[in-house]
Structure 1
Amino acid sequence: MSLMGITRARRSDVTLPEVTAAPAAASAAARPPSLVAVCVPVLVMLGVGLWGLDRGGMWRDEAVTFQVARRSVPQIWHLLHHVDAVHGLYYLLMHAALAPHPSEIALRLPSVCGAAATAGFVAALGVRLGRPRVGLWAGLLYSVTPLGGYYAQEGRSYALVAAGAAGATLLLVETLRAPRPARWGAYAGAVAVTCLLHELAVVLLLAHAATLATARVPWRVWRGWACAAGAALLALLPLALVSHAQSAQVAWLAVPGAGSAEHLLREFTGPAEPVVVPYLVLIAVALRPSRERRPGTPSLAAVALPLMMLPPAALFAVSRVVPLYDERYVLYALAGAPLLAAAGADRLAGGAARRWKACGPRDAERSPGRLAAPLAPAVGVLAVALVLAWQLPLLREDRAPEGRPDNLAALPAVAARTLRPGEPVLFLPSIGRRSALAYPEAFRGVRDVALAVPAAESGTLYGVEAGPRELRRRLARLDHVWVVTERFALRPAWYPRDPAERVKLAVVDEEFVPREEIARRGATLRLFVRRPPTDSLGPELP
């Protein structure tokens, strides 16, 4: 079925050719612009995503994806019973993606494809709810927004979640135009898969409910949507029960404030000030009441505004009690912003065209609107190109290793040149082992002093370490040890709760002295040698 739809005519031997010819011709004429409006944003998003994809290192969250996805399926299943159940489906998908050739490009390529699909879905929504140029502008705006480009190059599930949410929204719009059980089933499946990729995407259903309420759909449509949403929630229930028991994983989240809301708004529109203000003006224009509205059919604003506003607002509200908000958890809500901005631009262009048309015959001939109307799509593309040029430095920064919170490749590069086979290594704390798990070649052959059961075998992210007594015994046999220290562990105020971590700190401080230090972004490699009996590094006095 084309994006613009096809009008069906009743059978009649006499009138059938005359009745169907015009709609069919209109549909055929509309098909090329609609196809271009969808394909161009997809190609642009692919270009933005592939640009600088191999930035030379993974950061800690990507490293978790990389090392977990390379485990066997039974080992991944074992892990999900203890930790990271919320990412279970994503890890299984990445297991298949990394199987042919595990690399950083293969790690991020699914996210690039997810972002490109999202841009296409956004464009298709603009075409379906507006016209081809609205879809073209909205898809291009999504493609050049730095937030979308950032997560297009992230080896995590968020770009795929955004694609699932945009696809489910498009399915909802199509289903509202022609409600059928098969379409409701497809919608339920899309929502379920999206939520299984990340369960907090379930807030998307609030946005869709608001769309139905605004469109004033009949009761039978509400019933179909409720059944589809209920089926998706039922599929999500087992994951919700398991992940609730693992809620300590998000204990690091803080209660969001007004600053978080302002930051998210800037991320949705583009952080640069010359982009934010025109973007907000266009959104305000799009939200002006329109007389062209049919009950039962959602307008673009009725779809885009709840999608942009309700998921962040819901997580903000919940986070006042239980902190659950992070901008990446609502990345899928970004799709609403370019749709509204494109609709506002279209409304301004339409108003200008109507004013030119209202001119007298002679004035109309001389009016620039006579040439400007066909050029409106090109003018909008040029405006998006200016937005891209203005935000190009931000996109370039995101493609450098410094554009992420840390770079786990820096320390292994040093370790590969420094550590010899058999060298004792102590990770302080144990999560420092993530660099060795992400880049095992750099630590191949070294002796992990504290490790008792490897990560994959233990069903944990970083392995199970020996107890305090055994750890003290192992350290007592060493004359030197290389210590991989996380940045926060170097602070004097850091006091670990784990007894084994406290033993590491105490033994290294009391029985060893530092001899060499190599600091890299996010971590430090230190050589400690055993303290001489004289408590001095110098020679003993006669």
Structure 2
Amino acid sequence: MKRSGSGRPVVVAEVVAVLLPVLVMLAFGLWGLDRGGMWRDEAATFQVARRSVPQIWHLLHHVDAVHGLYYLFMHAVLASDPGEVALRLPSVCGAAAAAGLVAALGVRLCRPRVGLWAGLLYAVTPMAGHFAQEGRSYALVAAGAAGATLLLVRGVRSAGTGVWWAYGAMVAVTCLLHEFAVLLLLAHATTLAAARLPRRVWRRWGRAAGGAVLVLSPLVLVSHGQSGQVAWLTRPDWESVDRLLRAFAGPTQPVFVPYLFLVALGVLRQVPRGEVTLAAVAAPLMVLPPAVLITVSRFWPLYDERYVLYALAGAPLLAAAGTDRLARAVARSWERWRGTRPPWTARTRMRLPVAALAGVLAVALALTAQFPLLCQDRTPSRRPDNLAAVSAAVGRELRPGDPVLFLPSLARRSALAYPEGFRGARDIALRASATASGTLYGEEEGPAELRRRLAGLDHVWLVAAPFALRSGWHPHTPTERVKLAVIGEEFTLREQLARRGVTLRLYVRHPSADDPGVALRPVWRRSGAGLVPA
């Protein structure tokens, strides 16, 4: 690593370069952390993590094994404070750690100011801020990947094997948090190849990487049998690539174009033989995991932006290196134009503070351009749904004893996350609870029993995911098909209330001439007390 000097001033500069991004990322992560509601994925974390360890283990045999380690970790986190803030705090800490580790990589691979700029750029990127406030594993995976990359750099420059043991353990834990993080190993192998390192380094890395893959292999086998969970994913296209690129570099045009220019400057550096440079580390990290996953997903859809969040770390490192290269070129041009060349030490002392402040100012300008997006991201509307709002709306409409039908069964997540709004309601289709059945949303009755239960109802409330109400949706299970058939054939829509991600409908049985009980069934009307017989 190149240093601008020696002794205490350099140490202080390195500490500041790492600590400041951590504090900035913490501030953004804690800002507006309590949004007033969880969305569907966070609700899955919340309701699973609050189960006992044997119950979580039972669930993982049926579904969501890929998140098993994260659920067990969150079980310990939520044991003392089962709230939404506690749910998201690990992600805030993970994002802050990732920002600090990105800065540490810049410090070690280049110089303190590059580390400072890279860490700050990471902290103000809307994508990093978004997942810092998600009650899911992705920010922790990003921190683990950045930590493993830093250990890789240390291992290459170390003569001992202890660092490689730590590297293998870090990669294994990161991959157990989300198995697609295994693509990190491909990026690291490319880094070693670009640096043309000796066989000794390759052997040590191979043992560490092989151990991590061995630890991960049982999870891969189990999760492969649960691949139906990602059946909702679609094949990525060029728009997917563009969205990811803008998520990495900044979605606003005033930031996006200069960012790409600086990244290009950071990449266009020759890699000396036997030396791990910043470009050799950051470029494969930014490019290869997304590129491989997107390519594979053209045939077997597995790609989602959140699955490659950890690759974001490469972008600010390259942009910071490009900024440093540009600043040095401007300084040299200025000196030639002035015709003065002060001694090297004095010239360096003049350049460094000015360049560092100029870089921080550039980051501040990027933050200013993207600040509206960061503000919007602190509102529930930036998530696909708000289950707290759904539960509140249901609570205002339903009365004790009212029958409720969920279409499909996963629409039950609002009742599991926020049961207050559904208190006293009768879940018509449910046979076994989510906890007892070892599933996310419970086990429902078969089609014959469900028909029998619906036959005795005068009205039913339907809580439906929007896609389930579209004419082109064809349910895969007989129970879901019976729900659609009976509602369509025997009931009439009376009211509808839409909330983001969920639609609440009231269906009233329509009279039939051959129904002997038609005279006994009331006509329902709305009053201040709710739904009452006319």
TM tier relative to shorter chain: over 0.9
Residue 315 of structure 2 is aligned with which of 332, 337, 362? 337
CA distance in structure 1 between the aligned counterparts of 2:349 and 2:408, rounded to whole angstroms: 69
Residue 35 (str. 1) matches residue 35 (str. 2) = no
CA distance in structure 2 between the aligned counterparts of 1:214 and 1:371, rounded to whole angstroms: 34
| SS at 2:6 equivalent | helix
Q: Could you tell me whether the CA contact under 8 Å between 1:4 and 1:27 is conserved in 2?
A: no
CA distance in structure 1 between the aligned counterparts of 2:438 and 2:479, rounded to whole angstroms: 19
CA distance in structure 2 between the aligned counterparts of 1:124 and 1:371, rounded to whole angstroms: 24
- For residue 494 of structure 1, what is the aligned residue in structure 2? 473
- For residue 279 of structure 1, what is the aligned residue in structure 2? 259
Residue 81 (str. 1) matches residue 53 (str. 2) = no
Counterpart AA for 2:78: L
Change (3 A) 1:4 1:437: farther
Shift of 1:352: 2.6
Q: Could you tell me whether the CA contact under 8 Å between 2:98 and 2:143 is conserved in 1?
A: yes
- For residue 406 of structure 2, what is the aligned residue in structure 1? 427
After superposition, where does 1:224-303 map in structure 2 within 5 Å? 224-290=204-270, 294-303=272-281
- For residue 194 of structure 1, what is the aligned residue in structure 2? 174
Residue 290 of structure 2 is aligned with which of 312, 332, 338? 312
Shift of 1:220: 0.6
The size of the alignment, in residue pairs, is: 516
Shift of 1:167: 0.3
Counterpart AA for 1:441: E
Shift of 1:362: 5.6
Residue 477 (str. 1) matches residue 452 (str. 2) = no
After superposition, where does 1:19-34 map in structure 2 within 5 Å? 26-34=6-14
| SS at 2:497 equivalent | strand
CA distance in structure 2 between the aligned counterparts of 1:357 and 1:533, rounded to whole angstroms: 93
Stretches of 4+ moved more than 4 A in 1? 356-365, 367-373, 534-539
| CA offsets 1:55-96 (integer angstroms, 9 cap, x no match) | 121111111111111111111111111111111101111111
- For residue 437 of structure 2, what is the aligned residue in structure 1? 458
Between 1:156-165 and 1:259-268, the stretch displaced more is 259-268
Counterpart AA for 1:121: L
Q: Could you tell me whether the CA contact under 8 Å between 1:353 and 1:373 is conserved in 2?
A: no
Change (3 A) 1:141 1:404: same
| SS at 1:321 equivalent | coil
- For residue 416 of structure 1, what is the aligned residue in structure 2? 395
Q: Could you tell me whether the CA contact under 8 Å between 2:195 and 2:280 is conserved in 1?
A: yes
CA distance in structure 1 between the aligned counterparts of 2:523 and 2:424, rounded to whole angstroms: 32
Shift of 1:330: 0.7
CA distance in structure 1 between the aligned counterparts of 2:341 and 2:196, rounded to whole angstroms: 43
| CA offsets 1:111-139 (integer angstroms, 9 cap, x no match) | 11110000000000000001000000000
After superposition, where does 1:45-56 map in structure 2 within 5 Å? 45-56=25-36
| SS at 1:26 equivalent | coil
Give TM-score scaled by structure 2 length: 0.92
Change (3 A) 1:370 1:42: closer
Unaligned runs of 5+ in 1: 6-22
RMSD between superposed Cα atoms in Å: 2.3
Shift of 1:492: 2.4
Shift of 1:294: 4.8
| CA offsets 1:466-506 (integer angstroms, 9 cap, x no match) | 11111111112222222212211222232322111121122
| SS at 1:332 equivalent | helix
After superposition, where does 1:371-386 map in structure 2 within 5 Å? 373-386=352-365
Change (3 A) 1:538 1:77: closer
Q: Could you tell me whether the CA contact under 8 Å between 1:57 and 1:407 is conserved in 2?
A: yes
After superposition, where does 1:108-123 map in structure 2 within 5 Å? 108-123=88-103
Q: Could you tell me whether the CA contact under 8 Å between 1:212 and 1:298 is conserved in 2?
A: yes
Residue 445 of structure 1 is aligned with which of 405, 424, 441? 424
Shift of 1:98: 1.2
Give TM-score scaled by structure 1 length: 0.91
Counterpart AA for 1:62: E
| SS at 2:33 equivalent | coil
- For residue 148 of structure 1, what is the aligned residue in structure 2? 128
Sequence identity percentage? 66
Shift of 1:153: 0.9
Shift of 1:373: 4.2
CA distance in structure 2 between the aligned counterparts of 1:138 and 1:508, rounded to whole angstroms: 56
CA distance in structure 2 between the aligned counterparts of 1:486 and 1:401, rounded to whole angstroms: 18
Counterpart AA for 1:106: A
| CA offsets 1:324-358 (integer angstroms, 9 cap, x no match) | 11111111000000000000111111223334455
| SS at 1:478 equivalent | coil
After superposition, where does 1:104-143 map in structure 2 within 5 Å? 104-143=84-123
Q: Could you tell me whether the CA contact under 8 Å between 1:356 and 1:370 is conserved in 2?
A: no
Counterpart AA for 1:218: P
After superposition, where does 1:343-362 map in structure 2 within 5 Å? 343-358=321-336
CA distance in structure 1 between the aligned counterparts of 2:502 and 2:339, rounded to whole angstroms: 74
CA distance in structure 2 between the aligned counterparts of 1:86 and 1:231, rounded to whole angstroms: 19
After superposition, where does 1:317-332 map in structure 2 within 5 Å? 317-332=295-310
